[in-house]
């Protein structure tokens, strides 16, 4: 099942970029490339082909320490266990590093690539290289442009509809302030909010930011932003520091915190708790809403220090990526034997969101 096209050429070019050369992938070794850590799952007996082989699946992750992506990654590895040799690498949030890792995967002749882009705008380069090597590509979580995916008949995207997450946040906002008029601290009938955005150019972050407010307004809730949108790159620590600065200048003027993900929401709660807000059992509270329904967020909601989040089902996404990748490696239709369906773009599968409240 190996695709060795370009293998000798690319291997020669990259021999100095590898910390250790792998032997046959069927040995199930763990290796570390100079471009980032790689984990390799050992081949198992189950799921072997009639020829006694299992496919080689190359997985590129944008950043291992992203909480949500860790859920996806773990589910993906579990779903492929015993059914494939899995080579996985951490892009560490750097597109240049991920590009190098891609070259290594192609040189090794993997049967299918599963790619969680660092920068979705760089996906055209991934498609060009994969197409030249005749390797199917399953993009996931970070969505490339539709025309980029559609340019290769062996490419597909598995993810969510970012606008839906924002709209659910908007509905949650309206429900919260309808059920709790006391959250309107100054009694002006408006919601004074601060916004925490994942990344400046990330389509998903932009959509969540836009639609959360638009949906609340469409529901009849008046919204008024306090300060500028805080771009914190999905990061808890960055969000905490930004929230501390905002509170220093606007304490008593903020009635709501909206975050594109739970990591930033948790950072905001940490900043609030440092000055006596959102403490379990306390009497000073500002609603905080995130996205992902991570364990930390669920725990905070259960304790009453966070109001709500939007469930992004990482386990379902990981399982979907695994199923599609195995089909692609076997040369059958991406969705054969699954309950997955393409959306109206014809190149994407959507994993639905769901609101998560106490």
Indicate if the pLDDT at residue 266 is higher than 80: yes
Backbone torsions φ then ψ of 119, nearest 5 degrees: -125, 110
Tokens of 152: 């290769």
In a domain, 2, yes or no: no
- Tens of pLDDT, residue by residue over 101-157, are 999 999 999 999 999 999 999 999 999 999 999 999 999 999 999 999 999 999 999
Same structural domain for residues 155 and 232? no
Same structural domain for residues 306 and 322? no
Q: What pTM does this model have? A: 0.80
Same structural domain for residues 128 and 184? no
In a domain, 1, yes or no: no
In a domain, 70, yes or no: yes
Tell me what percent of the residues of the chain surpass a pLDDT of 70: 85
In a domain, 358, yes or no: no
- Tens of pLDDT, residue by residue over 296-348, are 999 999 999 999 999 999 999 999 999 999 999 999 999 999 999 999 999 99
d(CA 144, CA 83): 28
Task: Report CA-CA distances (Å) from 267 to 21, 141, 241.
Answer: 41, 22, 8
Same structural domain for residues 92 and 216? no
Same structural domain for residues 72 and 106? yes
* Containing structural domain, residue 107: 7-159+314-353
d(CA 239, CA 208): 16
Tokens of 224: 């008024």
* Contact in structure between 234 and 66 (CB atoms under 8 Å): yes
The 3-state secondary structure of the chain reads: CCCCCCHHHHHHHCHHHECCCCCCHHHCCCCEECCEEEEEECCCCCCCCCCCCCCEEEEEECCCCCHHHHHHHHHHHHHHCCCCEEEEEECCCCHHHHHHHHHHHHHCCCCEEEECCCCHHHHHHHHHHHHHHCCCEEEECCCCCHHHHHCCCCEEEEECCHHHHHHHHHHHHHHHHHHCHHHCCCCCCEEEEEEEECCCCCHHHHHHHHHHHHHHHHCCCEEEECCCCEECCCCHHHHHHHHHHHHHHHCCCCCEEEECCHHHHHHHHHHHHCCCCCCCCCCCCCCEECCECCHHHHHHHHHCCCCEEEEECHHHHHHHHHHHHHHHHHCCCCCCCCCCCECCCCCEEECCEEEEEC
Same structural domain for residues 148 and 206? no
Tokens of 315: 């386990």
Would you place residue 51 in the very low, low, confident or very high pLDDT band (cuts 50, 70, 90)?
low
In a domain, 68, yes or no: yes
Taking residues 87-114, report their average pLDDT. Answer: 97
Number of compact structural domains in the chain = 2
Same structural domain for residues 98 and 240? no
Bridge partners of 86, per DSSP, are 41, 57
The CATH number of the domain holding residue 174 is 3.40.50.2300
Same structural domain for residues 292 and 326? no
Would you place residue 39 in the very low, low, confident or very high pLDDT band (cuts 50, 70, 90)?
low
Same structural domain for residues 307 and 325? no
Same structural domain for residues 302 and 326? no
Taking residues 212-218, report their average pLDDT. Answer: 98
Same structural domain for residues 150 and 175? no
Same structural domain for residues 171 and 108? no
């Amino acid at each position: 099942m190996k695709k060795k096209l370009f293998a000798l050429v690319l291997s020669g070019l990259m021999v100095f970029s590898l910390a250790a050369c792998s032997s046959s992938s069927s040995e199930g070794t763990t290796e570390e490339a100079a471009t980032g850590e790689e984990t390799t799952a050992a081949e198992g007996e189950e799921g072997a082909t009639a020829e006694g082989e299992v496919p080689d699946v190359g997985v590129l992750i944008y950043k291992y320490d992203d909480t949500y992506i860790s859920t996806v990654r773990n589910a993906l590895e579990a779903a492929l266990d015993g059914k494939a040799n899995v080579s996985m690498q951490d892009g560490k949030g750097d597109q240049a590093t991920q590009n190098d890792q891609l070259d290594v995967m192609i040189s090794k002749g993997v049967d299918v690539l599963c790619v969680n882009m660092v920068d979705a705008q760089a996906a055209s380069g991934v498609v060009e290289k994969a197409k030249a090597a005749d390797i199917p590509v399953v993009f996931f979580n970070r969505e490339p442009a539709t025309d980029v995916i559609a340019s290769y008949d062996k490419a597909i995207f598995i993810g969510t509809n970012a606008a839906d997450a924002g709209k659910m946040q908007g509905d949650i906002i309206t429900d919260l302030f309808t059920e709790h008029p006391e959250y309107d601290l100054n009694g002006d009938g408006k919601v004074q909010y601060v916004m925490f955005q994942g990344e400046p150019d990330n389509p998903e972050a932009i959509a969540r930011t836009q639609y959360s407010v638009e949906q609340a307004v469409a529901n009849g809730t008046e919204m008024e932003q306090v300060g500028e949108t805080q771009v914190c790159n999905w990061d808890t620590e960055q969000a905490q520091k930004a929230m501390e600065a905002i509170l220093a200048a606007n304490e008593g003027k903020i009635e709501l915190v909206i975050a594109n993900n739970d990591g930033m929401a948790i950072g905001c709660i940490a900043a609030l708790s440092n000055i006596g807000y959102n403490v379990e059992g306390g009497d000073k509270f500002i609603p905080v809403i995130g996205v992902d329904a991570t364990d930390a967020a669920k725990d905070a909601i259960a304790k009453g220090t966070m109001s709500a989040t939007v469930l992004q089902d990482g386990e379902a996404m990981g399982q979907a990526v695994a199923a599609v990748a195995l089909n692609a490696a076997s040369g059958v239709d991406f969705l054969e034997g699954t309950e997955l369906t393409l959306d109206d773009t014809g190149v994407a599968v959507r994993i639905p969101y769901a609101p998560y409240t106490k």
